[in-house]
Amino acid sequence: MQDRFTYKEFLKKYKNDDICLEEIKNLRFPSGITCSSCKKITNHYRIKSKKVYSCEFCGTQVSPLAGTIFHKSSTSLQDWFMAIYLMTQTRSGTSAKQLQRMLGVTYKTAWRMYKQIRTLMAENSVTPLDGDVEIDETYIGGKGMNRRFKPHFNEIPKEAVMGMLQRGGKTYLKHIKGTGKWYLIEQIKTHVDPVARLITDELAAYRNLPKHGYMLHDVVNHSETYVVGDIHTNNIENVWSIIKRGIYGVYRNVSKKYLQAYIDEYAFRFNYRKQGENMFYTLLRQVVNVRMVSVS
């Protein structure tokens, strides 16, 4: 496996929209297309003037793009593939403004493309984390707030985000209403197996974990030290560092409404960081795995 899927290799493989359409068709129908009229797998041929394939016997047409983020989009498929490529090949993300400059599309189009791609990066698996799981929370966004003092009337409060990271595995990141014990424990019960060993800081809300079946719980007191043997939350704090540098350095500002979508983007790249070039194909497969109900 290659460590990187270079820009030169991308352009060589996806030269035009026809190649991109064929790629989506093969991903969506790996065993061939079953004709809805003939009730069997038949050969389908591309209709050149459209993004559809036609059955060789009855002429019934099938669109590989139906129900995907590409459906009814007038944007070039190659441009869509490029946007997906950039999402997976940059550690801190790429802004819609940069995508606008690279593709020559409008800012509205670039922003919408990235918004749609982020829906594919959301973690839909219900597999709970196990083993050693680091848990922490942080605050993102806001405007000029110094939490030592009362905020001014025109300041925007920061938003709470909770992170649960399985050492050697994946991470779940969730935008939550607050850091009260019920919000935190609800997320832990949803995403962490009760047999897991939890590692947290000294936040009082975590003292209730044994009452909910989490008997293995180690605490690191950050007012005294950050590491005691293997008791630390350094890995999840590294995730916070990546997210904050990316948001403040690339996106500059993220609204409360779309914060979950942005942290989904960072969680996806973190969870598949060892795949190298295959991260692009993992996200591309999500195009056919995630059915789009509506576009807004």
238-279 pLDDT, tens digit per residue, is 999 999 999 988 888 888 999 999 999 999 999 998 887 789
Residues 6+ apart with CB under 8 A from 2: 276, 277
Do 40 and 94 reside in the same domain of the chain? no
Which residue from 293, 289, 291, 292 is spatially nearest to 30, judged by alpha carbons?
Answer: 289
Do 225 and 138 reside in the same domain of the chain? yes
Please give the angle made by the CA atoms of 84, 127 and 28, to the nearest 5 degrees: 40
> Which of 124 and 198 is assigned the larger pLDDT?
198
Q: Which of 17-26, 60-69, 94-103, 218-227 has the lowest mean pLDDT?
A: 218-227
What band does 110 get if pLDDT is binned at 50, 70 and 90?
very high
What band does 1 get if pLDDT is binned at 50, 70 and 90?
very low
Q: Which of 44-48, 81-85, 224-228 has the lowest mean pLDDT?
A: 224-228
Do 149 and 227 reside in the same domain of the chain? yes
Do 140 and 200 reside in the same domain of the chain? yes
Q: What is the CATH number of the domain that holds 227?
A: 3.30.420.10
When divided into structural domains, the chain yields a total of 3
- Does pLDDT of 93 surpass 60? yes
Residue 232 neighbours by CB distance under 10 Å:
18
Any domain includes 166? yes
Share of the chain above pLDDT 90, in %: 74
- Across 73-78, average pLDDT: 95
What pLDDT does 278 receive? 87
Do 236 and 153 reside in the same domain of the chain? yes
Any domain includes 260? no
Any domain includes 271? yes
Mean pLDDT of the chain: 90
Any domain includes 78? yes
Do 138 and 226 reside in the same domain of the chain? yes
- Does pLDDT of 5 surpass 60? yes
Any domain includes 269? yes
pTM of the model: 0.88
Do 148 and 212 reside in the same domain of the chain? yes
Do 291 and 250 reside in the same domain of the chain? no
- Does pLDDT of 296 surpass 50? no
- Does pLDDT of 3 surpass 70? no
What pLDDT does 293 receive? 54
Any domain includes 205? yes
Do 209 and 175 reside in the same domain of the chain? yes
Do 43 and 84 reside in the same domain of the chain? no
115-139 pLDDT, tens digit per residue, is 999 999 998 777 899 999 999 999 9
Domain range for 58: 30-63
154-179 pLDDT, tens digit per residue, is 566 889 999 999 999 999 999 999 88
What band does 212 get if pLDDT is binned at 50, 70 and 90?
very high
> Which burial class, exposed, middle or buried, applies to 287 when counting CB atoms under 10 A from its CB (0-12, 13-18, 19+)?
buried
Any domain includes 125? no
- Cβ atoms 288, 27 nearer than 8 A: yes
Do 274 and 165 reside in the same domain of the chain? no
> Which burial class, exposed, middle or buried, applies to 154 when counting CB atoms under 10 A from its CB (0-12, 13-18, 19+)?
exposed
Do 76 and 114 reside in the same domain of the chain? yes
β-sheet with 217-219: strand ranges across: 171-176, 159-166, 132-140, 197-200, 217-219
Any domain includes 24? no
